[in-house]
Amino acid sequence: MSNSLRAVRGMNDILPADSGLWGHFEATVRDWLRGYGYQEMRTPILEHTGLFKRAIGEVTDIVEKEMYTFVDDLNGESLTLRPEGTASCVRAVIEHNLLYDGGKRLWYTGPMFRHERPQKGRYRQFHQVGVEALGYATPDMDVELLLMTARLWKQLGLADSIRLEINSLGGAEARAAHRQKLIAYFQAHQAELDADAQRRLLTNPLRILDTKNPAMQALVDAAPSLMDELDDAARQHFDAVCQGLTDAGIAYRINPRLVRGLDYYNYTVFEWVTDKLGAQGTVCAGGRYDGLVAQLGGKPAPACGFAMGIERLLVMMAEAGLAPATPSPDVYLVNVGEAAGRYALQVAEALRDAGFIVLRHGGGGSFKSQMKKADASGAAWAVIVGDDEAAVGEVSFKPMRVEVAQQRLPLAQAIALMKEI
Ligand code: HAM
């Protein structure tokens, strides 16, 4: 196959062998969200580029180099494939005035797009489940978000391999004061900065703290801490979140260097991380973004939320052997002969009416080869029709997993008997 006809690099097909695990995950997530009163939101995959620039921040990796942006030839508008869901969700909330009668708990799922270097756990099209609680200012909501994620890890069987890191970014004033101190500190150590840090020094010095460069670890470890700048309100909010986690028995680590790659956060930020995925260890991340609704033109409203990377969680589940077995059909419908082929379609529908899951053999083939397929399908029953059965409205049927002789009966009687057994 020529390269130009293959899937785009970093964008994956989800094949039948994997879709069972996806379905299991999605069903678990839907139940879990219902348990917390969250309502689903679906927004377009394309948005105006300006939305993401404004929400995520001009000087972030996502906006500077990872967005799939193009000009719509028809009207010259700049559009972008969404790199995340919070901006779109908040846009829709404002556009449809969803906060008119108080806070809203919303969730979404779907593909997101970032032009990153693909590797295990990092893709250019990936999928998130995102959760946003809008209109709630108090720390109990931050705690509820963390309790609910902890519950999901349990439900998915991953609780032992995911741990929580949290931090507070304080309010705007604390960040401004910290920013000045950081710039001064890094300027005093300019020779030790790598190219990335040099570039960020005056634009986004907070992100230097997030560096993965081993040569800069000592430098960032000794950098001024944002924690020291928190005012009383921010400190109390953070203490209340920590207390809520302790009350609920959820272990956490305060990581003063946790800063996040999107600019909209204030106060609480957190990441759920694992050691099972190599470099791409963050499976879920989020925090408060109390300024974003107003920044995008809405009436000011506090908010917090998170998003998890579905592929990363599924890799963990598959590697831990937590993928559900592919369900087998109840009946494999063997049909040999032309009249039998037509009759088999009716038999299959009648069996489905009776509640059986039926895999009808398609495409002809000998009786022997069809019986082999019936066996391989894992079906509990083989229902067999030839032209003889078709002529008189009967079927032969045989349990595949126990030693019981094949029987031949009129269709309705066969169904009644199969339902009894
Ligand atoms: P984020 O940290 O950019 O936050 O992404 C959330 C999660 O999406 C990550 O922790 C990771 O599991 C997954 N993810 C991100 N990029 C990729 C990728 N290239 N390949 C695979 N998985 C990836 C947000 O997107 C915020 N909107 C979260 C949020 C919601 N904050 C408040 N509300």
What pLDDT score was predicted for residue 259? 86
Determine, yes or no, domain membership for 203: no
Last residue of some domain: 287, 319, 351?
319
Q: How far is the CA of 37 from the centre of ligand 1 (A)?
A: 22
pLDDT in tens, 49-72: 999 999 999 989 999 999 999 999
**For residue 101, is pLDDT > 90?**
yes
Looking at the structure, do residues 145 and 266 belong to the same domain, yes or no? yes
**For residue 280, is pLDDT > 90?**
no
Instruction: Identify whether the C-beta of residue 139 lies closer than 8 Å to the C-beta of residue 268.
Output: yes
Residue range of the domain that includes 335: 331-420
Dihedral, 331, 334, 340, 345 alpha carbons, nearest 10: 40
Confidence of residue 343 (pLDDT cuts 50, 70, 90): very high
Ligand 1 atom nearest to CA at 289: 32
What pLDDT score was predicted for residue 297? 97
Tell me how far apart the alpha carbons of residues 356 and 406 are, in angstroms, rounded to a whole number. Answer: 19
Lookup: tokens for 355: 């509640």
Q: How many CB atoms lie within 10 A of CB 58?
A: 12
CATH for 376: 3.40.50.800
Tell whether ligand 1 has an atom less than 6 A from the beta carbon of residue 116: yes
Looking at the structure, do residues 253 and 148 belong to the same domain, yes or no? yes
**Mean per-residue pLDDT over the chain, rounded:** 95
Dihedral, 328, 333, 334, 339 alpha carbons, nearest 10: -160
pLDDT, greater one: 40 or 196: 40
269-308 burial, b for 16+ CB within 10 Å, e for fewer? bbbbbbebbeebbbbbbbbbbbbbbeebebeebbbbbbbb
What pLDDT score was predicted for residue 246? 98
The helix/strand count (H/E) of the chain reads as 15, 16
Determine, yes or no, domain membership for 253: yes
pLDDT, greater one: 377 or 420: 377
Determine, yes or no, domain membership for 179: no
Q: Take atom 31 of ligand 1 and give the residue whose Cα is closest.
A: 286
| Strands across the sheet containing 78-81 | 46-48, 78-81, 69-71
Looking at the structure, do residues 96 and 160 belong to the same domain, yes or no? yes
Looking at the structure, do residues 94 and 234 belong to the same domain, yes or no? yes
Determine, yes or no, domain membership for 286: yes
Tell whether ligand 1 has an atom less than 6 A from the beta carbon of residue 311: yes
pLDDT in tens, 140-192: 999 999 999 999 999 999 999 999 999 999 998 998 899 999 999 999 999 99
Instruction: Identify whether the C-beta of residue 166 lies closer than 8 Å to the C-beta of residue 335.
Output: no
Looking at the structure, do residues 263 and 114 belong to the same domain, yes or no? yes
pLDDT in tens, 291-340: 999 999 999 999 999 999 999 999 999 999 999 888 899 999 999 999 99
Helices (H), 271-403: 292-295, 310-319, 338-353, 367-376, 387-392
CA atoms 147, 153, 159, 161: torsion sign: negative
Last residue of some domain: 319, 354, 374?
319
In this structure, the strands spanning 252-254 and 163-168 are parallel
**For residue 137, is pLDDT > 90?**
yes
Q: How far is the CA of 307 from the centre of ligand 1 (A)?
A: 6
Of the chain, the percentage scoring pLDDT greater than 70 comes to 100
Q: What are phi and psi of 334, to 5 degrees?
A: -85, 135
Looking at the structure, do residues 284 and 236 belong to the same domain, yes or no? yes
Looking at the structure, do residues 39 and 113 belong to the same domain, yes or no? yes
Determine, yes or no, domain membership for 402: yes
Tell whether ligand 1 has an atom less than 6 A from the beta carbon of residue 204: no
Q: How many domains does the chain have?
A: 2
Determine, yes or no, domain membership for 136: yes
CA atoms 309, 310, 313, 318: torsion sign: negative
| Strands across the sheet containing 104-113 | 39-40, 104-113, 125-134, 303-309, 282-288, 266-273, 163-168, 252-254
Region 244-267: mean pLDDT is 94
CATH for 90: 3.30.930.10
Confidence of residue 93 (pLDDT cuts 50, 70, 90): very high
Q: Take atom 17 of ligand 1 and give the residue whose Cα is closest.
A: 122
Looking at the structure, do residues 366 and 284 belong to the same domain, yes or no? no
Determine, yes or no, domain membership for 192: no
Looking at the structure, do residues 289 and 350 belong to the same domain, yes or no? no
Region 394-400: mean pLDDT is 95
Q: How far is the CA of 126 from the centre of ligand 1 (A)?
A: 9
Tell whether ligand 1 has an atom less than 6 A from the beta carbon of residue 38: no
pLDDT, greater one: 46 or 326: 46
Task: Pick from 312, 313, 314 the residue to mutate for probing ligand 1's pocket: most ligand atoms within 8 Å of its CB.
Answer: 312
What pLDDT score was predicted for residue 245? 98
Region 194-212: mean pLDDT is 88
**For residue 211, is pLDDT > 90?**
no
Tell whether ligand 1 has an atom less than 6 A from the beta carbon of residue 128: yes
Out of 118-122, 163-167, 217-221, 256-260, least confident range: 256-260
Instruction: Identify whether the C-beta of residue 99 lies closer than 8 Å to the C-beta of residue 302.
Output: no
Determine, yes or no, domain membership for 247: yes
Tell me how far apart the alpha carbons of residues 73 and 145 are, in angstroms, rounded to a whole number. Answer: 42
Tell me how far apart the alpha carbons of residues 65 and 221 are, in angstroms, rounded to a whole number. Answer: 27
Looking at the structure, do residues 267 and 402 belong to the same domain, yes or no? no
